[in-house]
């Protein structure tokens, strides 16, 4: 049924439909609406889950780790400093092979104190062994959350469903909320591959010495490598049930493009408009949306971008001393190709600064006019009156 939903509530609805059994949560702007709605679902009985209020995000992750180890479906959500506080236990969740799903609302970290959109928080966790899926809008958020449970439970790795602060989390859009029966067909109850069982006592995760540690780590990498094809297969099944197509990488007019713009998250919607306008003006511009950041879909990136002369990447993040993180990953993915496109890296829209159609047009213009990419990422949309 189509409903007008806040982006945050698109995720909470998906959690309800997924029949999650244990939820832990701690409030933080702009995530709070997700966990708030879920606590309401738990209170009114529309979700028969144990809701564990905790005193910090570290504890909420620890709580869902404990719960997941008993073989139940779990969920938590956080943002920004909350995610940073979880960092230590994020490693634990993945190496423990627990299929936890987490809602993550992209927000900057302070100082300067800032509650707005920025990908620094989730991308800082890229090496923790979590699957990361970025969403463009509220419908994408609902669908991706359902897919994330299937995916996490297939490869036994935790998954983060990432939405943009405010642009997605706090805006209302029409969302198709599927009925329970349909969701049940797509997402059956969790059948854990292992679990803590008092009738068969065992200690999970004791010490592992040098003789086995590498193999254990290698198995996480194997899981990540399995997650790519698994996502495609699950997305295919999702499409057959719900009629909506999702892919790790989505393209618009890339086949003949002289210049392909790469985006993630909600800015993709703005970019769709700009790219369509420029196409009408006769410019051969394409758009590539990256949904799946971990595992990084390198093979698909090579297939989609390999033949384009130029690629412009917008990063709402920066790895200080390196540059835009998506751009660097794409450059790495394209490296094995003998003929590879020129990759232009742009930093824009940090800490909630709007990426307007003008900003995107500026990025496209700069990429067209600059004969060869600079070594450093270029910052666009800076206020010329503020001199560092």
Partner 1 sequence: MIASLRPTLLFPVSRTSTEANRTGSWRFVRPVYRFKTAPCSAACPAGIDIPTVEMLASRGQIHDAWAHICRENPFPAVCGRVCFHPCEDACNRAELDAPIAINALERYIGDAGLAACSPLVSPAAALLQREVAIVGAGPAGLAAGYFLTQLGISAEIFESTEEPGGVLRWGIPSYRLPKAVLAAEIDRIAAAGVKIHCNRPVNPDTLAEMAARYDAVLVGAGLAAPLRLNISGEASIIDGLAFLKQVQAGSAPVASGEVAVIGGGNTAIDVARTLLRQGARPTIVYRRRRQDMPAFGHEIAAAEAEGVRIVELMAPVSAAADGNGVRMTLQPMRAAEVGADGRVRAVPAKQPPQEMRFKAVFSGIGAGVAEPWHRPADEADAIRLSHCAICRGTPTVGYIGDPVTAENSVAHAIGSGKQAAIALHALFTEGPEAVAPAVDRCRVGPGPALSMEIYLNGERSRRNGRVVTFADVNTDYFLRAERCAIPALAPAAAANGFEEAVATLKPRDALAEAARCFNCGICNDCDNCRIFCPEQTILVGEGGRRSVDLDYCKGCGICTVECPRCAMDMEEESA
Q: Is 41 or 97 the residue whose CB approaches partner 1 more closely?
A: 97
Give CA–CA dist 6/88, Å, rounded: 31
205 binds partner 1 (CB under 8 A): yes
Question: For the range 197-201, what are the long-range contacts, defined as Cβ-Cβ under 8 Å and sequence gap of 24 or more?
Answer: none
Give the DSSP H/E element, type plus range, for residue 315: strand 310-315
Stretch that binds partner 1, among 225-233, 251-259, 260-268, 278-286 (CB under 8 A): 225-233
245 binds partner 1 (CB under 8 A): no
- Residue closer to partner 1 (CB basis): 88 or 222: 222
- The rounded radius of gyration (Å) of the Cα atoms in the chain is 21
DSSP state of 246: -
Least distance to partner 1, CB of residue 196, Å: 10
Cβ 65 to partner 1, closest distance in Å? Answer: 13
Backbone torsions φ then ψ of 146, nearest 5 degrees = -65, -45
- Told to check if 237 binds partner 1 by CB under 8 A, we report yes
Q: Which is nearer to partner 1, 63 or 115 (CB)?
A: 63
226 binds partner 1 (CB under 8 A): yes
- Min dist CB 340 to partner 1, Å, is 30
Closest listed residue to residue 276, CA positions, set 287, 264, 267: 287
Say how many residues touch partner 1, by CB under 8 A. 31
Residues 270 and 361: their CA atoms lie apart, in Å, by 11
Q: Does 240 bind partner 1 (CB under 8 A)?
A: no
Q: Yes or no: say if 142 and 18 are a contact pair by the CB < 8 Å rule.
A: no
Q: Which of 45, 201, 321, 384 binds partner 1 (CB under 8 A)?
A: 201
229 binds partner 1 (CB under 8 A): yes
Using CB under 8 A, which of the segments 42-50, 154-162, 254-262, 272-280 binds partner 1?
Answer: 154-162
Contact present, 163 and 105 (Cβ < 8 Å): yes
CA dist., res. 172 & res. 141, Å (int): 12
Considering the rule CB under 8 A, would residue 172 count as an interface residue with partner 1? Answer: no
Q: For tokens 């299929």, what's the residue?
A: 99
Euclidean distance between CA atoms 121 and 127, whole angstroms? 12
CA distances 118 to 22, 99, 250, 317, Å, are 29, 26, 21, 6
- Cβ neighbour number for residue 85 with a 10 Å cutoff: 18
Does position 207 interact with partner 1 (CB under 8 A)? The reply is yes
Stretches 23-31, 149-157, 312-320, 327-335: which one binds partner 1 (CB under 8 A)? 149-157
One residue of 73, 150, 310, 340 binding partner 1 per CB under 8 A: 150
Site map 77..96 versus partner 1, x via CB under 8 A: ------------------xx
Angle between helices 7-17 and 32-44 (to 10 degrees): 40
Any contact of residue 138 with partner 1 (CB under 8 A)?
no
Residue ranges that bind partner 1, judged by CB under 8 A? 95-97, 150, 154-156, 193-194, 201-208, 212, 215-216, 218-219, 222-223, 225-226, 229-230, 233-234, 237
């Amino acid at each position: 049924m189509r409903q007008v939903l806040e982006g945050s509530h698109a995720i909470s609805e998906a959690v309800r439909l997924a029949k999650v059994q244990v939820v832990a949560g701690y409030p933080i702007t702009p995530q709070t609406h997700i966990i708030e709605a879920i606590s309401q679902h738990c209170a009114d009985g529309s979700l028969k889950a144990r809701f564990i209020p905790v005193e910090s995000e570290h504890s909420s992750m620890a709580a869902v780790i404990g719960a997941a180890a008993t073989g139940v479906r779990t969920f938590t959500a956080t943002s920004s400093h909350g995610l940073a506080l979880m960092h230590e236990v994020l490693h634990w969740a993945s190496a423990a092979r627990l299929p936890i799903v987490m809602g993550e609302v992209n927000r900057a970290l302070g100082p300067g104190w800032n509650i707005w959109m920025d990908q620094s928080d989730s991308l800082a966790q890229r090496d923790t062994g979590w699957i990361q899926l970025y969403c463009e809008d509220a419908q994408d958020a609902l669908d991706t959350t359902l897919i994330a449970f299937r995916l996490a439970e297939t490869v036994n790795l935790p998954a983060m469903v990432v939405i943009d602060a405010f642009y997605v989390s706090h805006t209302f859009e029409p969302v198709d909320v599927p009925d329970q029966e349909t969701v049940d067909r797509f997402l059956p109850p969790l059948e854990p591959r292992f679990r803590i069982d008092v009738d068969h006592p065992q200690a999970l995760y004791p010490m592992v010495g040098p003789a086995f540690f590498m193999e254990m780590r290698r198995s996480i990498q194997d899981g990540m490598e399995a997650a790519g094809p698994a996502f495609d297969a699950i997305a295919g099944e999702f499409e057959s049930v719900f009629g909506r197509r999702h892919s790790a990488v989505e393209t618009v007019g890339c086949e003949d493009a002289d210049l392909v713009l790469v985006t993630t998250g909600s800015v993709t919607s703005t970019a769709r408009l700009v790219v369509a306008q420029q196409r009408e003006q006769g410019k051969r511009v394409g758009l590539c949306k990256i949904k799946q950041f971990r595992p990084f879909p390198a093979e698909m990136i090579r297939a989609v971008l390999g033949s384009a002369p130029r690629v412009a990447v917008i990063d709402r993040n920066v790895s200080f001393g390196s540059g835009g993180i998506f751009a660097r990953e794409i450059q790495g993915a394209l490296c094995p190709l003998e003929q590879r496109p020129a990759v232009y890296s742009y930093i824009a829209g940090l800490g909630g600064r709007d990426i307007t159609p003008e900003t995107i047009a500026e990025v496209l213009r700069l990429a067209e006019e600059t004969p060869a990419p600079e070594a450093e990422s270029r910052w666009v949309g800076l206020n010329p009156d503020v001199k560092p």
